[in-house]
Structure formats: C-alpha cells, structure tokens
Amino acid sequence: RSRGGGARSALLDAARDAGLPLVLAYGETAACVMAAVTGDLTEAPGAVFIGAGPGVAAAAAGLAHALLDRAPMLLLTDRHPGDVLGGKASLAVEAASAGYWIAHAARLAMAEPRGPVHLDVPPDVATQSAVPSAASCRPDPLAPPDAPALDEAARLIAGAARPLLALGLHCRAADAPWLRALAEALPAPALVTAKAKGALPDPHPLVLGVLGGEAPDDRVLARADLIVAIGLDAAEPVPRAWWTRVPVLAVGPAPAGDAPPPFCEVVGAIGLALEELALRLAGRPRADWDVAELDRLKRARPLTAAPAGLAPERVVRLAREATEAGTLAAVDAGAHWDAVMGAWQAVTPGEFLAPNGATRGFALPAAIAAHLERPARRVVAFTDAAGLLAAAPELETAKRLAAPVVLVVFGGADAVRLAQGFGVAAYAADSEPAVAQALSRALGVRGPAVLGVFA
C-alpha cells in the first residue's frame, strides 16, 4: 500500500485480520510497481491500496507500468467509484455481491493479456459482512490452439531453412522446458525481449541476446527465412524490420495485433501449442544454421566504455560474478540499459526484472518486491542518478524491511550521500578494483546497500 490518504481503512484492518502481509510504500508509483512485480513473480494478482484524495491520480504512472508489463494487479480504493486511467476495468463493490466482484476482478487481472484492475470498496461496504461466494479467482483455461493453424505453423517451420525464434513477455516458467526443446530440436537461435530474459538460459549457445539491445539482430535477421515469435506482446519494443523483412509465425496466449499482422498465428497456451507443434515436426530436417557462426555473433557484442573508461558492462559482470546462482536482478530505464541487458546472465524465468516502458524509479521498488517474494534470494538492482532520485524515498522502505538489496547507481556521485541520509550503507567506486571491493562489502550488509559508480 502507499501512504496516500492517511485514513485508517477497514479494508486494511480486514487484511491484517486475515494474516495478509502489508507493506507501506512511500509513493504511489513505487507501490504499484511492487504490486505488479509481485503479480509477475507469483502469477497471481498483486494488490495495492491507494488512499482517498490525490493518491489515485498519483498512481497513474504505476498503473501504466502494470498495463504495459501485462502484470496482474488489483488497485484497491475506498472512495473512488469512477474509472481510473490505465486499468483494464473499474469495478465497484457492494456487500451483497462483494465475493463475486472480488473474484471477478482477480480473474480479469489474470485474463490474457494480463493487467491492472481497479476495485473500489467504500468504507461502509468494507465494514459489512460479505455473502460467501463460490466464485473462482482463477481465469478459465485458454481454449486449445486451432488445429488448422497448428498445421499451417508446422508447415512453415518445416519449410524454413533458417528459422529464428523471438521470445516475449508471455513466455513464462511453465513454458521454459518446451521453449528449450523447440530451440534445440530445430535447432534455431533465439533472441528475447527484456521481459523474457531467462525464458531460455542466457548462457545457452543458441541464445544470442536481447532484441533491440546489443544483440546481433540485423546480422541474424538477414540470414533468417522465418521468424517464430513466441509470446511476443504488441506492447514490447520490437524493431519494425522484424515484421516486414521475413514472414512471421506468431504463437501466444492472445492475438498478436495487426501492426502489421503475422503471416500465420497460433493462439493458445504456449506450452500446449509447442507440444502440438513438436508432434507435427517429428522427422523434420535440421535447420541450416552454422552453429560456429552463431557463436561468433554472440561473442562479438562490443563493450560501450564510459567516458573515463569504466565500462558499465564490466560493472555488471563484476556484480554477476560476486553473487551466487539464482540472484535476481532489476534494472531501470536509462543509458545503462543495454549494458545491463547484455552483461547480466539470467538462467530461469523471473530472475531478471525490467520495465516494458520507460518507468523511472522501477529498479528499487521492484527489488524490494522480489526480496519479499523470494526472501532466500539475493537481489541486485541497477539504476542511474535520475532513477535513484525517482525512487529515493523507498530507500527508507528497504531499510525498514531490512531488505538485502544492493542498488548499483551509474553516474552516482551523489548516491552515497543520499543513501546515508536514509541510514543506508553506501559505498563509492571509480575503478574495477574499487567496484569489486565495494560489492564485497555491500553484499555483506544485513539490509540494503548502495554502490555509487562514477568517473
């Protein structure tokens, strides 16, 4: 929940009585980011309570983030019965039908494409007894993929000499085994969007990097004769050339959109669709990719040096080397984006948290939410001076929760002083040896720590 409103809410009292954990965030956007990340990691709606007054308007950026990220989230208010900008729907609750509408809101948030749903529960309703409801909070299973579409998809893949996989945000943990099986069986290289990092392990030789980042997009695209877009969402920033140079086969839980439309589309659960395609592709000749050439392309990504020579990629790799397997990472939008995308290795879905839009101040609240959901995991977040300023009050949240988050701030000459003002351990580094030493100290802190990296 956010601090907005300040009124003691019957809704929050009920949540406490039910044993639900409540986290007080300083700002509305940060609270929405935390709820959205929780929804992503749990595959169940995260919830945020915004008090009456200007808090609902202040939550607009957070709602836009959840909508673009396709994150299941419930925005709860207690005196805002009207629509809110950026939600899939706004629903008002009455005591007699509260059970139904709460379940409906959860189902709608989880329905593809997932997103935020606004639910208003007035104080006079929240204090009344609700009528028990047998309604399910889970959406109905997706319809099986259309058989003729599967047949056409299999025909396209079987006829392609060099198919190329493009993986998007709808690729989830349950789909990972099927994605790997398809890539290795064809075999075909894969590029992923920022939201899909970890859908296939980054160290896998067929994973070439992040779409639109420093991955060899154009060189691979020039060789491909079919793009198999799996789980790509229309909201993801995919270069237009990907839809215009080569035929596109789209596979996903929701229609891919029409800007431009794919050559062929299979709509349904990704795992089930890939299972059905595997049966149809049995005995297919292997693709004509040169594995050695793909390996050269993967290794050819250049380092982008900072003005004083401390490459952001090296900072990220030092952080990756200093942390154990399973460490989660979060990144803000900014000039460091490509460096973090290329240098941080994620091996499973959910290990890498990135905004689908340009949400400033995402990394810190996302890291806090990741810690709350995965308390046994370390979390490292990457931002810049602007991102730190946007989320600075949440340093107090991290400190209060004793969240073991290491926040790396690029260009963060003032980050140390700012963090220390919140009572957070902070270190500065302007060279690789200093970064390595500061990371070691920061990772030893029982609670949050900030590492300012500057020239």
- Domain contains 142: no
- Domain contains 141: no
Are 399 and 294 in a shared domain?
no
pLDDT in tens, 167-192: 999 999 999 999 999 999 999 999 99
Are 236 and 324 in a shared domain?
no
Are 290 and 318 in a shared domain?
no
- Domain contains 307: no
- Domain contains 131: no
Cis peptide before 177 (omega within 30 of 0): no
Domain ranges, residue 357: 312-453
Domain tally for the chain? 3
Question: What is the pLDDT confidence band of residue 222, given thresholds at 50, 70 and 90?
Answer: confident
Question: Which residue, 70, 93, 126, sits at the end of a domain?
Answer: 126
Are 57 and 153 in a shared domain?
no
7 pLDDT more than 80: no
Question: What is the pLDDT confidence band of residue 258, given thresholds at 50, 70 and 90?
Answer: low
Are 197 and 231 in a shared domain?
yes
Per-residue model confidence (pLDDT) at position 178? 97
Verdict on whether the full-model pTM lies above 0.85: yes
303 pLDDT more than 60: no
- Domain contains 217: yes
16 pLDDT more than 90: no
Question: Which residue, 238, 264, 299, sits at the end of a domain?
Answer: 299
Sign, CA dihedral 230-40-30-104, equals positive
Are 273 and 321 in a shared domain?
no
Are 153 and 277 in a shared domain?
yes
Q: What is the CATH number of the domain that holds 267?
A: 3.40.50.1220
pLDDT in tens, 59-107: 888 999 999 999 999 999 887 767 777 889 999 888 888 888 999 999 9
Are 281 and 364 in a shared domain?
no
Are 291 and 332 in a shared domain?
no
CB atoms near residue 348 (< 10 Å): 15
Are 188 and 262 in a shared domain?
yes
- Domain contains 347: yes
Are 155 and 251 in a shared domain?
yes
Per-residue model confidence (pLDDT) at position 2? 53
- Domain contains 4: no
Are 265 and 366 in a shared domain?
no
What's the per-residue H, E or C state across the chain?
Answer: CECCCCCCCHHHHHHHHCCCCCCCECCHHHHHHHHHHHHHHHCCCEEEECCCCCHHHHCHHHHHHHHHCCCCEEEEECCCCCCCCCCCCEEECCHHHHHHHHHHHHHHHHCCCCCEEEEECCHHHHCCCCCCCCCCCCCCCCCCCCHHHHHHHHHHHHHCCCEEEEECCCCCHHHHHHHHHHHHHCCCCEEECHHHCCCCCCCCCCEEEECCCCCCHHHHHHHCCEEEEECCCCCCCCCCHHHHCCCEEEEECCCCCCCCCCCEEEECCHHHHHHHHHHHCCCCCCCCCCHHHHHHHHHCCCCCCCCCCCCHHHHHHHHHHHCCCCCEEEECCCCCHHHHHHHCCCCCCCCEECCCCCCCCCHHHHHHHHHHHCCCCCEEEEEEHHHHHHHCCHHHHHHHHCCCEEEEEECCCCHHHHHHHCCCEEEEECCHHHHHHHHHHHHCCCCCEEEEECC
Q: What is the CATH number of the domain that holds 341?
A: 3.40.50.970
- Domain contains 1: no
User: Region 100-125: what's the mean pLDDT?
Assistant: 91
